[in-house]
Chains A and B, each alone.
Chain A
Amino acid sequence: DAGITQSPRYKITETGRQVTLMCHQTWSHSYMFWYRQDLGHGLRLIYYSAAADITDKGEVPDGYVVSRSKTENFPLTLESATRSQTSVYFCASSAGQRDGYTFGSGTRLTVV
């Protein structure tokens, strides 16, 4: 199906564990993004990618790692999960810097 999909939809993990959130888009959009959404903070950019093998930090990158070996995939890894990383994570893609973003449905991550 065309679109942008995130998996898993929900995830509970323990403090200190590594967890990877997946994002896949079918449009061959150049740009992909990871945001986290928290009450009181709105949407904050974690990392973004302008093309395969090109990534850059956003506003809140600490504790996260990304990779983009293929244009369609942009996984986000929490190297050692902390409770402060409990959040809803959204992946998005865009064709260009002057275009709108398309968002995935989100992953609700709880770190216990």
Chain B
Amino acid sequence: SQQGEEDPQALSIQEGENATMNCSYKTSINNLQWYRQNSGRGLVHLILIRSNEREKHSGRLRVTLDTSKKSSSLLITASRAADTASYFCATLGYGEWNFNKFYFGSGTKLNVKP
């Protein structure tokens, strides 16, 4: 399976601390995406990183991709209570122009305590 798996499953930190979530996958990918889901809401697209990129930034978010280790990490710096949500990685297999091959992981539930 191409499916990405997030680690840890749950993370609890204090406001102001950094939060790091990891995603591992099994086969070569075209791109990897991170999404956030607030309780009871739809997923929100955060960042897309392509297989030839190693790092991307967006505001307080930093995503890295290590294709040799088949892993990615999402770092949220200076976390806020509003960052409390579940975070999912999603991968599209290399050469797989088929949406059946776009897999979401099971997510990391982040709790930021004020």
Listed in ascending order, the chain A residues whose CB lies under 8 Å from chain B are 31, 33, 42-43, 45, 48, 56-59, 90, 92, 97-106
Contact = CB atoms under 8 A, between A and B. Distances in A.
Contact of A103 (B31, B40, B42, B105): B42
B97 A101 contact: no
Contact of B45 (A33, A45, A102): A102
Given A58-B99, A105-B41, A106-B42, 20 more contacts: A33-B99, A42-B106, A43-B104, A45-B102, A48-B100, A56-B100, A58-B100, A92-B42, A97-B92, A97-B99, A98-B30, A98-B50, A100-B33, A100-B48, A102-B45, A103-B43, A103-B45, A104-B42, A106-B40, A106-B41
Given A42-B105, A102-B45, A105-B41, A97 B97 contact: yes
Contacts of B97: 97
Contacts, number: 54
Contacts of A99: 48
B82 interface: no
A56 to B, nearest CB: 8
B4 to A, nearest CB: 10
A101 B103 CA distance: 12
A98 B31 CA distance: 7
Interface of B: 30-31, 33, 35, 40-45, 48, 50, 88, 90, 92, 97, 99-100, 102, 104-107
A99 B35 CA distance: 13
Contacts of A104: 42
B45 A100 contact: yes
A100 B106 CA distance: 18
Nearest to A57: B100
The 4 closest A-B pairs by CB, nearest first: A103-B42, A100-B45, A43-B104, A103-B43
Contacts of A97: 92, 97, 99
Contact of B42 (A42, A48, A90, A98): A90
Contacts of B102: 45
19 contacts: A31-B99, A42-B104, A42-B105, A42-B107, A45-B102, A58-B99, A90-B43, A92-B42, A98-B50, A99-B48, A100-B45, A101-B33, A101-B35, A101-B90, A103-B42, A103-B45, A104-B42, A106-B41, A106-B42
